[in-house]
Amino acid sequence: VTTPGFVFSPATITIQLGDSVRFNIGGIHRVEEVSQATWNAENNTPLPGFNTPFGGGLILPSQLTVGTHWYVCVPHASSGMKGIIIVENTTG
């Protein structure tokens, strides 16, 4: 996931259980997993989920369970800088 400006690209990604996600984002951005309600409200109250330092990082498979994960850029959540990771169960 990258940040061409103040958006995530792609804004929504679908991965398979066991995949990692790398955030290669600018140094003014930091990612935090949030609830759907927090995501909808464009707030940045964190869940005990994944996060990255400023500039990005790697989210490991152990942090990405099956389902939908909503995340925001902590400093820019109120401006609508947010994204979604959908984790699908692997099929044999």
Tens-digit pLDDT profile for residues 31-89: 999 999 999 999 999 999 999 999 999 999 999 999 999 999 999 999 999 999 999 99
pLDDT value of residue 91: 78
The pLDDT score that the predictor gives to residue 40 is: 98
Q: Kind and range of the H or E element at 38?
A: helix 36-40
Say if residue 92's pLDDT is above 80: no
pLDDT of residue 65: 96
35 vs 39: CA distance, rounded Å? 6
DSSP reduced 3-state for 74: helix
Among the listed residues 72, 71, 75, 66, the one whose alpha carbon sits nearest the alpha carbon of residue 28: 75
